Amino acid sequence: MSAERTVVPTQVGIVGAGPAGLMLAHLLGRAGIDSIVVEKRDRDTIHATHRAGILEAATVRMLTESGVDGRVLTEGHEHEGTVLRFQGESHRIDFQGLVGHSVWLYPQNEVFRDLAAARERDGGDVRWSVRDTEVVDLTSDRPGIRFTDADGEDFEIRCEVLVGADGSQGVCRRSIPEHERTDHFVEYPFAWFGILAEAPPSAPELVYATSEHGFALISSRSESVQRMYFQCDPDEDVDDWDDERIWAELQRRVDGPDGLRLEQGPIFDRTVLRFRSYVCEPLRHGNLFLVGDAGHTVPPTGAKGLNLAFCDVRVLAPALVDFFGTGDASGLAGYSATALERVWKAQNFSYWATNLLHAQPGENPFHRKRRLGELRAITTSARGAAYFAESYTGWPED
Ligand code: PHB
């Protein structure tokens, strides 16, 4: 540690340069508000971290209308529907026909790349690869972030508002005293085994499949790279699975009389993703505001994580613009309650869709048949399907 800490003032200090932190910094920059973002990882590591790939229309609009980049429109793929597959049959949910919305398949790591490039283009201050990050004086009007930068120099950012965008394992949420927050938490007895494979697409839209062997999701990254998942034990060891075994497992979960065959190819990435649902209430402590995974986590089934993070930013950014523009703090005062309304709707959908599509370990025939009954009720009724379509594509702005 060097002898002196360099103190840097700014208006908004942001911990975490994932999509939520960078999007907030971008919107603030456009409104003439200064921010500094600190991030413990380097850009390449974040870019190589695979996350879900579905963007709601409102998320796409945020990227395009705020001038981040148009790549999502040229390289992403619009999906006007998705497939729920059970008992070996595919049932298409027609998003456009039911609710007039689409989603876009565009991986989260590409969203990150676009946002990081936009910050660089616009001269945004982002400190990558910092360590020993600490947030201090959260309830004062001059909260701070202390860290050591990539060259070993010690810094202290002093700001008026501090934003925790540092994910579920970050320091910000943990800095809120336990008696000042409630942690709502659910764990699931299963996980996803995720793969990336060099192969052509197996289906034009995503396929969410449930079978007596468990859940599988057939997604895509490009014409030559596919993303697929199958339900597994949370303690599954990826080294126990060679390509042949993985393809056999995925195939048997989508098998059916229509003869759907997965296009196979070399698998070059395999990871086990554990499932959790989590909400921190409130999303504010003094002058610290939590956004995205720092404040809430959803299981990946509903593809809500990034979209929900952007919803938080859509509430917080205008509140900060009001605060710095006119001194009006009412938006900041309402941030937590407003953001949490949406968060709990998405928590419900993610939890519901997860339990609808996954077999509980040792599930008895009654529970399995009940789930199939519910899937049939959704897929054979325009109203049932519209509930799924509206939740999946994103609720209208309220
Ligand atoms: C993905 O493509 O990685 C993906 C898509 C939809 C989900 C989850 C993950 O619900």
Q: Where are the beta strands (DSSP E) in 73-139?
A: 77-79, 81-86, 89-94, 103-105, 125-127, 131-136
Mean per-residue pLDDT of the chain: 96
Task: Look at 397 and 26; give whichever has higher pLDDT.
Answer: 26
Percent of the chain at pLDDT exceeding 90: 96
pLDDT in tens, 256-305: 999 999 999 999 999 999 999 999 999 999 999 999 999 999 999 999 99
* Cβ–Cβ < 8 Å for 302, 350: yes
230 CA to middle of ligand 1, Å?
12
- Of 54, 59, 95, 273, the one to substitute when testing ligand 1's pocket (max ligand atoms within 8 A of C-beta) is 54
Q: 6-53+107-186+276-353: what fold?
A: FAD/NAD(P)-binding domain (3.50.50)
- Kindly give the pairing relationship between strand 288-290 and strand 161-164: parallel
What mean pLDDT comes out for the span 380-393?
Answer: 97
Residues 313, 311: Cα–Cα separation, whole Å: 5
What distances in angstroms separate CA 111 from CA 29, 42, 333, one per listed residue? 18, 16, 29
Q: With a cut of 90, say whether residue 49 has pLDDT above it.
A: no
| pTM confidence score | 0.96
pLDDT in tens, 138-194: 999 999 999 999 999 999 999 999 999 999 999 999 999 999 999 999 999 999 999
pLDDT in tens, 68-91: 988 999 999 999 999 999 999 999
What mean pLDDT comes out for the span 329-335?
Answer: 98
Q: Which amino acid is at 285?
A: H
Task: Identify the band that residue 198 occupies on the pLDDT scale cut at 50, 70 and 90.
Answer: very high
The HSE-up count of residue 80 (CA atoms within 13 Å, CB side) is 5
The residue contributing the CA closest to ligand 1 atom 4 is: 52
State the virtual CA torsion across 338, 339, 343, 346 in degrees, nearest 10: 80
Pocket of ligand 1 (CB under 6 A): 52-54, 206, 217, 219, 227, 300-301, 303
Per-residue model confidence (pLDDT) at position 6: 96
Residues 281, 289: Cα–Cα separation, whole Å: 11
Which residue in 55, 58, 150 sits closest to 103, CA to CA? 55
Q: What is the DSSP letter of 344?
A: H
Per-residue model confidence (pLDDT) at position 3: 62
Residue 63 burial (CB count, 10 A): 26
